[in-house]
Structure 1
Amino acid sequence: MRQSNIGKTPPFLLILAMLFGCAEKGNLDYNFKTEDFEPHVIALSSDDFMGRMPFTEWEILTLDYLEAQFIELGLQPGNGDSFFQEVPMMSIISQPEEIMRIKKPGGEITLEGFRDYVLWTQRVDSEVKFEDAEIVFAGYGIVAPEYGWNDYENLDVEGKIVMVMVNDPGFGREETDLFKGNAMTYYGRWTYKFEEAARQGALGTLIIHDTEPAGYGFNVIQNGWNSAKLYLDSRGSEMYRPVFEGWVTLPVAKKLFDMAEMDAEEMLGNARSSAFQPVSLGLKASSSINVTVNYAQSKNAIALIEGKSKPDEYLIYTAHWDHLGIGKPDETGDSIYNGALDNASGVAALLALGKAFQSNPPERSIVLLMVTAEEQGLWGSAYYAKNPVFPKEKTLANINIDGINHIGKMRDVSVIGVGQSDLEDLLEDELQKLGRYSAPEPTPSAGYYYRSDHFNFAKIGIPALYFGTGIDHVEKGKEYGLERQLDFTMNHYHKPSDKFIPGEWDLDAALDEIKLYHNIGQRLANSRIWPQWKEGSEFKSVREAYMKR
Structure 2
Amino acid sequence: MRASLLGLSLLATPALAQAPAISVDTLRSVTQTLSSDAYEGRKPTTPAEDKTTAYIVAQFKAAGLKPGVDGGWFQKVPLVEITATNVSPLTITGGSAPLALAFRSDVVLKSYRVVPHIAIKDSDVVFVGYGINAPERGWNDYAGLDVHGKTVVILVNDPDWQSAARTGLFEGKAMTYYGRWTYKYEEAARQGAAAAIIVHDTEPAAYGWGVVQSSNTGPQLELDEAGDHMTESAAVGWMQLDKAKALFASAGKDFAALSEAAKHKGFRAVPLGVKASVSFDNTIRRQASKNVIGILPGKTAPGEYVLYSAHWDHLGHCDPVKGDGICNGALDNASGVAGLVALAQAQVKAGPARRSIVFLSVTAEEAGLLGSRYYAEHPVYPLSETVGGVNMDVLNVKGRTHDFEITGAGKSELEDLMKTLVEAEGRVVKPEPNPERGSYFRSDHFSFAKLGVPMFDGGAGEDLLVGGEAAGHAATLDYIANRYHKPQDEYDPKWDWSGAVEDLTLYYRLGRELADGDQWPNWYKTAEFRAIRDKSRAAAD
TM range, smaller chain: over 0.9
Tell me which residue corresponds to 2:507: 517
More moved, 512-521 vs 236-245: 236-245
- State the shift of 1:307 in Å: 1.0
- State the shift of 1:250 in Å: 1.2
Tell me which residue corresponds to 2:319: 328
Tell me which residue corresponds to 1:367: 358
CA contact (8 A) 1:23 1:526 kept: no
- State the shift of 1:341 in Å: 0.5
Q: Aligned pairs, how many?
A: 537
Structure 1 gap ranges (5+)? 1-10
Matches within 5 A, 1:32-431: 32-95=22-85, 97-104=87-94, 107-175=97-165, 176-224=167-215, 226-236=217-227, 240-330=231-321, 332-359=322-349, 360-431=351-422
Provide, for residues 122-168 of structure 1, a one-character-per-residue CA deviation record: whole Å limited to 9, x for no partner. 12222211111110001110000111000111110111000010001
1:531 alignment partner, SS class? coil
Q: Provide closer, same or farther for how the CA distance between residues 106 and 474 of structure 1 changes in structure 2, counting only shifts above 3 A.
A: closer
Tell me which residue corresponds to 1:468: 459
Inter-partner Cα distance in structure 1 for 2:389 and 2:510 = 11
CA contact (8 A) 1:23 1:522 kept: no
Inter-partner Cα distance in structure 2 for 1:531 and 1:356 = 23
Tell me which residue corresponds to 1:441: 432
> What TM-score do the two structures reach when normalised by structure 1?
0.95
Inter-partner Cα distance in structure 1 for 2:203 and 2:95 = 35
What is the percent sequence identity of the aligned residues? 43
Inter-partner Cα distance in structure 2 for 1:238 and 1:497 = 34
> What TM-score do the two structures reach when normalised by structure 2?
0.96
Q: Provide closer, same or farther for how the CA distance between residues 65 and 440 of structure 1 changes in structure 2, counting only shifts above 3 A.
A: same
Provide, for residues 248-284 of structure 1, a one-character-per-residue CA deviation record: whole Å limited to 9, x for no partner. 1111111111111111111000101121111110011
Inter-partner Cα distance in structure 2 for 1:17 and 1:487 = 43
Q: Provide closer, same or farther for how the CA distance between residues 406 and 224 of structure 1 changes in structure 2, counting only shifts above 3 A.
A: closer
Provide, for residues 13-68 of structure 1, a one-character-per-residue CA deviation record: whole Å limited to 9, x for no partner. 68768455567667842122322321111111111101000011100000111111
1:486 alignment partner, SS class? helix
1:522 alignment partner, SS class? helix
Amino acid aligned to 1:185:
T
RMSD across aligned C-alpha pairs, in angstroms?
Answer: 1.7
Structure 2 gap ranges (5+)? none
Inter-partner Cα distance in structure 2 for 1:389 and 1:106 = 58
Inter-partner Cα distance in structure 2 for 1:96 and 1:144 = 37
Q: Provide closer, same or farther for how the CA distance between residues 506 and 14 of structure 1 changes in structure 2, counting only shifts above 3 A.
A: farther
Tell me which residue corresponds to 2:536: 546
Aligned match for 1:488, one of 467, 475, 479: 479
1:547 alignment partner, SS class? helix
More moved, 525-534 vs 447-456: 525-534
Inter-partner Cα distance in structure 1 for 2:379 and 2:366 = 20
Inter-partner Cα distance in structure 2 for 1:197 and 1:376 = 19
1:192 alignment partner, SS class? helix
Amino acid aligned to 1:412:
D
Inter-partner Cα distance in structure 1 for 2:161 and 2:96 = 37
CA contact (8 A) 1:23 1:527 kept: no
Amino acid aligned to 1:440:
P
CA contact (8 A) 1:417 1:448 kept: yes
2:294 alignment partner, SS class? strand
1:89 alignment partner, SS class? strand
